[in-house]
A and B are shown apart, each in its own frame.
Chain A
Amino acid sequence: MNIVVLVKQVPDSGADRNLRNDDNTVDRGSANNVINEMDEYAIEEALKIKEAHGGEVTILIMGPDRATESIRKALSMGPDKAVHVVDDALHGSCAVATSKVLAAALGQLNADLVICGAESTDGRVQVMPHMIAERLGVAALTGARKLTVDGGTLTVERQTEEGYEVVTAATPAVVSVWDTINEPRYPSFKGIMAAKKKPVQTLSLVDLGVAPTEVGFDGATSAVVEHTKRPPRSGGAKITDEGEGGVKLVEFLATEKFV
């Protein structure tokens, strides 16, 4: 099975994150950039399917030059190769334009199965798998907590508010996964060394047949008008329980009219 895993490089969610003041885009320059955490689960799932059914795993990433760090990190887990869509004109692209670019790249990769994380930790928008599936005219099985592959039939358990749904589709398809699906492996030393020699193909907008005016700020379908830092919360009263902590807690709740 030919599997493509979508990977996004994001600012570390454990650190302070900002938008740039000049163009309102995510500040990636000053941030510690890492692989979107959920994508590691997507990579793990792809590797498990390859181990069970054979095939090839390709990483597809769209991002600036510095995304190469994340490509090597992703490859060190075990995928065979990577494709890096990189073009200065992509800076400022909205989700709709991003899906156009990724769909164009996937069109060249002939994937049976596209796996991605259910959301990225920077935008948390969750729209990419369905946007891509819509463009490619293939099924999207999203929010999987379990994925079963039986020949060309995919079955997922999808978490919902009420419980879960069992959803099936034939390949080709896009599957997005939550972090409940598996436990991603740590790259081995051998894996890290091997990743340095794995092929990374770069594709530009010209290679994909996408016009620069369709992406970036020119092609954006939405725009950030302004952004402000939300003032940090400040802690209020803190008491140490000396036998009356529970009562005092309820007294506070009562003054706030919760009790």
Chain B
Amino acid sequence: MSEVLVVVEATKEFGVKKVTLEMLTLARELGTPSAVVLGGAGAAEALSAKLGEYGAEKIYAAEGDEIDGYLVAPKATVLAELVKRVQPAAVLLASAQEGKEIAARLAVKLDNGILTDVVGLDADGTATQVAFAGSAIVKSKVTRGLPLVTVRPNSVNPTPAAATPAIEQLTVSVTDTDKLAKVVDRIAEQKGSRPELTEAGVVVSGGRGVGNADNFKLVEELADLLGGAVGASRAAVDSGFYPHQFQVGQTGKTVSPQLYVALGISGAIQHRAGMQTSKTIVAVNKDGEAPIFELADFGVVGDLFKVVPQAAEEIRKRK
């Protein structure tokens, strides 16, 4: 079977991201998965056990400052060389900022089609995408070149399939043009131990109804009790209640968790755009006419400052 290249998404702090495991699971349906690690020195070694656990038969690695010290262009160059050499059946990347950017450059370098925000991929290369804020389901195909797709987190249930991958170090030959955008600093911002927003199985979000930044502690508390991530509506972010990287909706993140809890969120179409493919939706809002209730599998019309602490207490009791 042909190789399927999976470009690994990982973080220094948490290692291999769940979307990578989803991509390896998906890749096994299409051929033999090979993981591609593009990152800092030693990254492949550190990630190999996890990648093997989910079926990576081989790991290609390009590491070091030449790769990691610049914005995505060197990664695309290395990947393009690898694709030309191994002629994979497909190339999968994460449908996140960097994955899409690497894929964009790869598409131009290879004059190859690209499909983003893919939630399913058939053996014949037909991809399923969710479009227009989750209101349309689109089946698409790359018609020139190989299937080059970016996979949306929480699309596939990752299942282990043990393999023992060997690491092949790639020779890095990046050009001066690849080194035009230099990363001079990386600053970690407070995040804590919560799961990443787009990958979390549970997301608890707060909206304008939360009232102020301090009250977001309530949202965080419920998220922590449910083992989830914290999100925020645009109204809450614009009001300065919570940082922008946690914004769910049209101009923020798209999430598709098993459970989405909307607290004090009215459910404007721009917010729904980012969350309406969630499996189960629960809402608490003072306004019984709020559009969020049209989506919610369970809704509580009431004061979130009464309902949420009571719910938190009840969860603690049951634990």
Complex: how many Å from CA A121 to CA B251? 8
A201 at the A/B interface (Cβ < 8 Å)? Answer: no
Within 8 A of A (CB), among B175-195: 177, 180-189, 191
Q: Which residues of A contact B131 (CB under 8 A)?
A: 19, 123, 227
Tell me the smallest distance from the CB of A165 to a CB of chain B, in Å. Answer: 5
Complex: how many Å from CA A222 to CA B107? 11
Given A162-B189, A221-B145, A241-B307, are A127 and B107 also a contact pair (CB < 8 Å)?
A: yes
Within the complex, which residue of B12, B244, B250, B307 is in contact with A178, where a contact is CB–CB below 8 Å? B244
A108 at the A/B interface (Cβ < 8 Å)? Answer: no
B314–A250 contact, CB under 8 A? Answer: yes
A197 at the A/B interface (Cβ < 8 Å)? Answer: no
B293–A94 contact, CB under 8 A? Answer: no
Complex: how many Å from CA A13 to CA B234? 15
A37 at the A/B interface (Cβ < 8 Å)? Answer: yes
B251–A179 contact, CB under 8 A? Answer: yes
Tell me the smallest distance from the CB of B53 to a CB of chain A, in Å. Answer: 22
Chain A interface SS verdict (over half): mixed
Complex: how many Å from CA A167 to CA B73? 13
Within the complex, which residue of A124, A130, A167, A248 is in contact with B117, where a contact is CB–CB below 8 Å? A124
> Which among B269, B311, B313 has the greatest number of chain A C-beta atoms within 10 A?
B311
Q: Which residues of B contact A166 (CB under 8 A)?
A: 183-187
Within 8 A of A (CB), among B120-162: 126, 130-145
Given A99-B108, A131-B108, A252-B298, are A225 and B141 also a contact pair (CB < 8 Å)?
A: yes
A209 at the A/B interface (Cβ < 8 Å)? Answer: no
Complex: how many Å from CA A13 to CA B288? 25
Tell me the smallest distance from the CB of A239 to a CB of chain B, in Å. Answer: 6
Complex: how many Å from CA A225 to CA B142? 10
Complex: how many Å from CA A43 to CA B173? 37
Complex: how many Å from CA A240 to CA B71? 51
Complex: how many Å from CA A247 to CA B11? 37
Within the complex, which residue of A122, A240, A256, A258 is in contact with B288, where a contact is CB–CB below 8 Å? A240
B215 at the A/B interface (Cβ < 8 Å)? Answer: no
A246 at the A/B interface (Cβ < 8 Å)? Answer: yes
A169–B226 contact, CB under 8 A? Answer: no
Complex: how many Å from CA A128 to CA B111? 14
A127–B137 contact, CB under 8 A? Answer: no
B97–A143 contact, CB under 8 A? Answer: yes
> Which among B101, B132, B270 has the greatest number of chain A C-beta atoms within 10 A?
B132
B296–A238 contact, CB under 8 A? Answer: yes
Given A134-B109, A247-B311, are A227 and B137 also a contact pair (CB < 8 Å)?
A: yes
Closest to B249 in A: A13
A226–B181 contact, CB under 8 A? Answer: no
Tell me the smallest distance from the CB of A39 to a CB of chain B, in Å. Answer: 12
Q: Which residues of B contact A248 (CB under 8 A)?
A: 300
B13 at the A/B interface (Cβ < 8 Å)? Answer: yes
A233–B281 contact, CB under 8 A? Answer: yes
A186 at the A/B interface (Cβ < 8 Å)? Answer: no
> Which among A99, A169, A221 has the greatest number of chain B C-beta atoms within 10 A?
A221
A52 at the A/B interface (Cβ < 8 Å)? Answer: no
4 nearest CB pairs, A to B: A246-B310, A241-B302, A221-B113, A127-B104
Which A residues are within 8 Å of any B CB, using their own CB? Answer: 13-14, 16-19, 24, 37-38, 94-96, 99, 121-131, 133-135, 137-143, 145, 155, 158-170, 173, 178-180, 220-230, 232-241, 244-250, 252-254, 256, 258-259
